[in-house]
Amino acid sequence: MITQKYLDDLTYEIIGASIEVQKNIGKGLLESVYHQCMIEELTLRKINFQSELKVPLIYKEKELEVDFRCDLFVENCLVVELKSILQVHPITEAQIQTYMKLLKAPKGIIINFNCFNIFKEGQKTFVNEYFKKLENSN
């Protein structure tokens, strides 16, 4: 059963994995490089995920052909968007919140590898109405 605590613990694991990746290969590389390293790191940690998951768009009961892709969809409940940019822009925040809504995911994380400290400045976490409905078992 997915709870708020489960998602918080999973978030901690994902951020830890991203810190491990950055510690090993540094900052300033292409997003695609970090994506491949995150795939390897999550596999090593035995965390279930889908990479480049096609996000469905249902409009008025019809699925439309759009090419929305979620970088990582972890444990079928956590959207992860990977970046390697100078600054995360509001459009990226809107994108992850849209993916969370379309996938009915209660939590999402943007991880920006182009920083000195992922834990302090390189990640931003989002929750939505699905998260608020989950049991809070601390």
Give the pair of three-digit tokens for residue 82: 């990977």
- Kindly report, residue by residue over 69-90, the tens digit of the pLDDT: 999 999 999 999 999 999 999 9
Report which secondary-structure segment, H or E, holds 126: strand 123-127
Nearest to 73 by CA among 105, 112, 121, 37: 105
Which tens digits make up the pLDDT trace of 106-125? 999 999 999 999 999 999 99
Mean pLDDT of all residues in 3-20: 96
- Whether residue 23 has pLDDT greater than 70: yes
Task: Show the tokens assigned to 137.
Answer: 């078992």
- Residue 132 pLDDT more than 70? yes
**For the residues 11-22, what does the mean pLDDT come to?**
97
Distances (CA, A) of 73 to 8, 38, 89, 117: 15, 12, 21, 23
Predicted pLDDT of residue 121: 93
Kindly report, residue by residue over 34-64, the tens digit of the pLDDT: 999 999 999 999 999 999 999 989 899 999 9
Confidence of residue 1 (pLDDT cuts 50, 70, 90): confident
72, 88 in Cβ contact below 8 A?
no
Residue 138 has pLDDT above 70, yes or no: no
* 3-class secondary structure per residue, 52-112: EEECCEEECCEEECCCCEEEEEECCCEEEEEECCCCCCHHHHHHHHHHHHHHCCCEEEEEE
CB neighbourhood size of 69 (10 A): 12
Q: 106, 5 in Cβ contact below 8 A?
A: no
The answer, yes or no, to whether residue 101 has pLDDT greater than 70, is: yes
Q: What are phi and psi of 13, to 5 degrees?
A: -65, -45
